[in-house]
Structure 1
């Protein structure tokens, strides 16, 4: 009887409860993580901070301000170790934080991450008044174009009509394209999961393979019929791969 109790206690305490921090991209919303949050919040703390991508001060300090924000956020939450899950620009931020604080990140998940190459708004972005162009760029994010709803396109368009917000977005988009991480990735020794949509046109799968070659301890999982935000387009497959990685 006693040995059975000990076995049960051992199995119970083996569940990993390291908090998850989910980091959205430049135009990502907190709702993008809804199905991930609901899937994993039963056994661990899941946090979805809203990144200050419209902060006017970002225009001078670029990505550093976002790293500082994440440092302060994690400190306020009084977290010892975390798992960072970052999509697009959020993945870039996760890499920078991990390099600065390697002892605080247990595992890292990069989802269509910038840091090596990104075909985003940064290059031809001045066409902010062109509604059809904005619609095209929003649709470019998805394999399933029905995700580029009128509501989403209108929201992005309206955001870009505010000069201060448009300026901050342009600065961050260009920083994500120019601040290349290639020479630093070998210093990230922790386990890394690369989750990528096969049809991602913003960070194509060649970028995922490049990350895979440069990171010492990386696992690559590709999701078919999926673009730049797999947690939105293929949430079941996304969660399955993430669960295996977290429990491994």
Structure 2
């Protein structure tokens, strides 16, 4: 389904539905399409928000996980959201973690799926190879348990990004920033109810990463999904939405965010 993007100042974002805010943060090669099933499901009960992260627009000095987290904070302030259910996939999960550690006051719940912040396998030392479509196709397939999920449209998107020299520099900067920004010693500060949804076949942030997050974040619960890779909300949307819906229902009656 096609959704209308809003633009206010430097912020481009999707906002659909009414209710408690459910704010979604995409990953390094993320786009609105990653969340299409999730948006369609939850717009009936929540205000679903997807800010487009400026992965390629920030200057190189601010092209970091922390730079993106500052952008998210400014976006939340600009829109005046409260009682936010914050969800991040992959790099977006890492950005969500940095944000909640610095600005917990407006966050009600946290959901991470395939998040970096502790450990992640990159696309490989030789990545990205410019101009090699077959290589990019194979690397994109690694995101999923079912390689058929790497559609031509998706591979074309990644291929276009990796053929742009400036975008490649920004991708490498963000990937290095994610590796440097290990949050292991800070995760015990997170007080919000936290949901961890992990693919049992995730090769980028393998299952042990989900288990480690579960161990380090005090009020967290972990759910594994079989035959699923790094992007559960894309690969198994029905099961993902069911787990998230139960979690949000359980926390709906709870008090305001922990400050």
Fold agreement, TM-score > 0.5: yes
Give 1:175 deviation, angstroms. 1.2
What does the per-residue CA deviation read over 1:67-103, in whole Å, with 9 as the maximum and x for residues that have no partner? 1110111112111221111000000000000001111
- Bigger proportion of residues as strand: 2
1:56 and 1:163 map into 2 onto residues whose CA distance is 15
| Displacement of 1:231 | 0.6
Q: How does 1:1-248 map to 2 (within 5 A)?
A: 17-121=19-123, 123-248=125-250
The CA distance in 2 between the partners of 1:136 and 1:75, in whole Å, is 40
Contact 2:201 2:227 in 1 (8 A): yes
Tell me which structure has the larger Cα radius of gyration.
Answer: 1
1:198 and 1:205 in contact (8 A); partners too: yes
**Which secondary structure does the structure 2 equivalent of 1:48 belong to?**
strand
Structure 1 position 187, deviation (Å): 0.4
Secondary structure, counterpart of 2:234 in structure 1:
helix
Stretch deviating more after TM superposition (84-93 or 130-139): 130-139
RMSD: 1.5
| Cα shift at 1:60 | 4.7
TM-score with structure 2 length normalisation?
A: 0.86
TM superposition shift of 1:122: 6.5
Q: Offset of 1:178 from its aligned partner?
A: 2.1
Question: What CA distance in whole angstroms lies between the structure 2 residues aligned with 1:147 and 1:126?
Answer: 20
Counterparts of 1:246 and 1:79, CA distance in 2: 17
Change (3 A) 1:27 1:61: closer
Q: Contact (CA 8 Å) 1:110, 1:193: kept in 2 or not?
A: yes
Q: CA deviation at 1:40?
A: 1.1
Q: CA deviation at 1:144?
A: 0.9
TM-score normalised to structure 1 length: 0.90
Contact 1:123 1:174 survives alignment (8 Å): no
Measure, in 1, the Cα distance between the counterparts of 2:154 and 2:37: 18
Higher helix share: 1
| Residues 23 and 50, structure 2, Cα contact 8 Å, conserved in 1 | yes
Gaps of 5+ in 1: 1-15
Contact 1:192/1:219 (8 A) holds in 2? yes
- State whether residues 56 and 164 of structure 1, in contact with CA within 8 Å, keep that contact through their aligned partners in structure 2: no
Question: Could you tell me which residue of structure 2 aligns to residue 9 of structure 1?
Answer: none
1:126 is displaced (CA, Å) by 4.4
